[in-house]
Amino acid sequence: MIYLDYAASTPVSEESLHVFQQLSKECYGNASSLHDAGGRANEILAYSRQSLAAILGGEPDGIYFTSGGTESNILAIQSIINGLPPHKQHVITTSVEHPSVHHAVNALQRLGVKVTVIEPNQEGIITKEILKQALLPETGLVSIQHANSETGIIQPLAELATLLKERDILFHTDAVQTFGKMHVSIKELGVDALSISSHKVYAPKGAGAVYMGAHVPWKPIYQDTVQENGLRPGTVNVPCIGAFVAASEQIMLKIDQQQQLDIQLRDYFLQQLKKRKLSVRMLQESDQRRTLPHIIGCFFEGFEGQYVMLACNRHGICISTGSACASGYHHPSPAVKALHVSDRDALQFIRLSFGRGSSKDDIDQLLHTFESLQKEKKGA
């Protein structure tokens, strides 16, 4: 099988799997228990907070472990709003966020919180001007993703953060797609809260984290919860968290090397498209510096994306038509539509994404499948 869907999920690394197995065997105590087994589990949690905080450039007390990116987004947004005063109950987010962010703000809206959803410009970017127009005196929180999982477009968070800091507005970002793919620094981005997930960095599914600065006045949405300093209930999944942190440590060791490989693979893909004269058009032809190099969004002229994905699957190649969290819904992607793409073109959208182990041979096999599809259509 050729796997070109790393933006959706990654295989578990040997290092991460080893840590998960060892902790499952040797550190099975409840981290909230007062006996030695519980103490050992709590030590693993303490180390995990310190390590993850160091990677993000934050403080260990700001790390709260969750079950993944979706829960991280929901808990961060709702807990922050829950902690803000009545005169700061306005949330701004964007139309191109992960569904979990929309779930979070929709739930808040039903409780009476004012919500504004803003659109990016034609290049998919939220500019300071766009954000400024949406700000109100009662705005308390803005949530904007670091990069989109379908288009790969990176948002200028540091620029937006300066605008929000001037107005004392809290800033949350969904960094699930960028963590482990590029250097993510809380201080450099200027955000107050950040969400990440384990299964994007070669760790088992089932772990994630929220970072919230000590100045963030959040309040729990689950009352009387003791785990994770009250952020979420339930026995803490120490083996999965340990594996998540181990994978994060490993991925940071070769992050620059992997990024260069992703750039080389992307350039090779583009060169081969022209060489083979394939009717594949890139989602964004212009400034590639604004996109994650491991994500390629494109349109295969004359084919619906779902048909191309299934055809590739029959040839043992895994690609995507967009965000896996929206699979099963056959409609144009909001992230693609935001780039002023027609419904017809949006339904032709496909995404391939590289990761550890991806190669030029994988791309050659993919393009060979594209060539077969194109020949079949011409011969029809």
- Residues annotated catalytic, as ranges: 325
Q: 3-state SS of the chain: helix, strand, coil percent to 5?
A: 45, 15, 40
Closest to 228 measured CA to CA, from 64, 111, 46? 64
* Interstrand relation of 280-282 and 295-300 (parallel, antiparallel or unpaired): antiparallel
Measured in whole angstroms, how far is the alpha carbon of residue 156 from the centre of its chain? 16
**Exposure letters 24-47 (e unless 16+ CB within 10 A, then b):** eeebebebeeeeeebebbbebbee
Angstrom distance (rounded) from CA 312 to CA 365: 10
> Position 105: which residue type?
V
Q: 343, 332 in Cβ contact below 8 A?
A: yes
Closest to 144 measured CA to CA, from 87, 85, 77? 77
Q: 82, 106 in Cβ contact below 8 A?
A: no
Angstrom distance (rounded) from CA 242 to CA 207: 9
Angstrom distance (rounded) from CA 352 to CA 328: 18
Q: What angle do CA 51, 169, 186 make, to 5 degrees?
A: 20
Residue 337 tokens read as 């539509």
